[in-house]
Amino acid sequence: MQSEGKYKTIVIDPPWRYKGGMIVTGNAPGRTKYMRESKTPYPTMSIDEIKSLNINSLMDESGCHVYLWTTNQHLEFAWEIMRGWGVTTKQLLTWAKKPKGMIGFGAYSPCTEFCLFGSSSKKAIHISRSERTWFEWARTIKHSEKPQGFYDMVENISPEPRIDLFARKQRIGWDVWGNEVENAIKL
């Protein structure tokens, strides 16, 4: 475990709160249900709560890569949150998933998620590079769990030590923090 709490790589998958009007179930016209409030299987956070996370206290002073997961509905806020944390967004990464049917936000069924990649320093240190910014990984079983391919990519691109915030499971070589894991830090 990273005793000093300073990391060169931070992955953040915050529990975004969704409000009324989002279609959450159904696979054919006329078979949809709308949420009045967030109905996720875990507690969610408002945009202001996510903004107020003390991410800066976890960043290595020499520089830190930050990966912030988001969805279409929160993309605009994700850019703002990264800037507020002092992180310059370098790339928008896209996870393309096989469609699940007519689950969606209106005319289009969402089959992508996004991850902003940024750096807290002007000169980002990369271990390697990726030839693309989109990735076609299979959906995971748990709601909101990210694919192993993403973590493999991060390990190839971004330096240690690493932490996964709002982690769904323990990872070898990573510190983790979340309500489903044994936390390495206090946040």
DSSP tally for the chain: helices H, then strands E: 3, 9
Q: How far apart are the first and last CA of the chain?
A: 15
What pLDDT is attached to residue 98?
A: 79
Q: What domain range includes position 141?
A: 9-16+46-96+112-177
* CATH number of the domain where residue 119 is located: 3.40.50.150
Stretch 116-136: mean pLDDT, rounded?
Answer: 82
Which residue do the tokens 């990369």 mark? 126
Supply φ then ψ for residue 73, to 5 degrees.
-60, -30
Among 76, 170, 156, 176, CA closest to 116: 76
Give the integer Cα–Cα distance in Å for 65 and 114: 16
Q: Is 85 a member of any domain?
A: yes
Q: Is 24 a member of any domain?
A: no
- The 3 state secondary structure assigned to 91-151 is EEEEEECCCCCCCCCCCCCCCEEEEEEEECCCCCCCCCCCCCCEEECCCCCCCCCCCHHHH
Q: What's the pTM value of the predicted model, to 2 decimals?
A: 0.82
Least confident of 13-27, 118-132, 143-157, 166-180: 13-27
Q: Is 152 a member of any domain?
A: yes
pLDDT in tens, 52-106: 999 999 999 999 999 999 988 899 999 999 999 999 999 999 998 877 665 555 6
Q: Is 59 a member of any domain?
A: yes
State how many domains the chain has. 1
Give the integer Cα–Cα distance in Å for 32 and 18: 16
What pLDDT is attached to residue 137?
A: 77
Q: Is 31 a member of any domain?
A: no
Give the integer Cα–Cα distance in Å for 180 and 99: 27
Indicate whether 29 pLDDT > 70. Answer: no
What b/e sequence results for 155-173 when a residue is b if at least 16 CB atoms lie within 10 Å of its CB, and e otherwise? bebbbebbbbbbbbeebee
What pLDDT is attached to residue 89?
A: 95
Q: Is 151 a member of any domain?
A: yes
What pLDDT is attached to residue 5?
A: 64
Q: Cα separations (Å) of 60 from 49, 63, 81, 102, 184?
A: 23, 5, 19, 43, 16
22 band by pLDDT with thresholds 50, 70 and 90: very low
Q: Is 39 a member of any domain?
A: no
Among 156, 151, 168, 143, CA closest to 71: 143
Least confident of 3-17, 32-46, 58-72, 82-96: 32-46
What mean pLDDT, rounded, does the chain reach? 81
